[in-house]
């Protein structure tokens, strides 16, 4: 009841144990849930829905969970292997899904290349590659 009796302007807002102030190194891709990031990215990579990149057969319902986990799938129609990133700008990317999501979000803000690289935990070269090649391909 102590808080309720204090005027709002006098209240001390102490940081709880483990809380890192803004600007600390704790902010980064590790705060994002990898599964949710993969789903979010998959929806942006394949707005028409998941399909085999080789023959365009929609990914069968039984393979959807594996598809959303970015696991390898064998197409039941053409027999070729693929995953959610095959044939997309993220094919061959070494970035974890949370890093990719954070990069996309940060690249939409007026933030310097160096700061984006620092926050997303990637190199400035990766930021320039995403700004110049990956994002334009994803929004085509």
Q: Which residue's CB is nearer to Zn ion, number 52 or number 120?
A: 52
Q: Rule CB under 5 A: is residue 46 a binding residue for Zn ion? A: no
Q: Rule CB under 5 A: is residue 55 a binding residue for Zn ion? A: yes
Q: Which residue's CB is nearer to Zn ion, number 52 or number 90?
A: 52
State whether the Cα torsion 15-16-21-22 is positive or negative. negative
Helix H or strand E segment including 74: strand 73-74
> Which one among 78, 91, 112, 136 touches Zn ion, defined by CB under 5 A?
78
Q: Which residue's CB is nearer to Zn ion, number 26 or number 77?
A: 77
Q: Rule CB under 5 A: is residue 52 a binding residue for Zn ion? A: yes
Question: C-alpha distances in angstroms, 140 versus 101, 116, 130?
Answer: 17, 23, 14
Task: Specify the stretch interacting with Zn ion by CB under 5 A; choose among 26-34, 53-61, 88-96, 114-122.
Answer: 53-61
Token pair, residue 33, equals 């849930």
Q: Rule CB under 5 A: is residue 73 a binding residue for Zn ion? A: no
Q: Which residue's CB is nearer to Zn ion, number 80 or number 128?
A: 80
């Amino acid at each position: 009841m102590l808080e309720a009796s204090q005027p709002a302007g006098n209240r001390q807002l102490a940081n709880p144990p483990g809380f890192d102030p803004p600007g600390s190194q704790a902010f980064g891709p590790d705060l994002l849930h990898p599964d949710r990031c993969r789903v979010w990215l998959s929806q942006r990579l394949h707005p028409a829905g998941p399909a085999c990149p080789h023959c365009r057969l929609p990914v069968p319902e039984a393979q959807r969970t594996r598809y959303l986990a970015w696991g390898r799938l064998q197409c039941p129609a053409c027999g070729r292997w693929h995953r959610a990133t095959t044939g997309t700008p993220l094919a061959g990317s070494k970035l974890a899904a949370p890093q990719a999501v954070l990069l996309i979000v940060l690249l939409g803000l007026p933030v310097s290349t160096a700061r984006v690289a620092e926050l997303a935990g990637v190199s400035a070269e990766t930021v320039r590659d995403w700004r110049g090649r990956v994002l334009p391909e994803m929004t085509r």
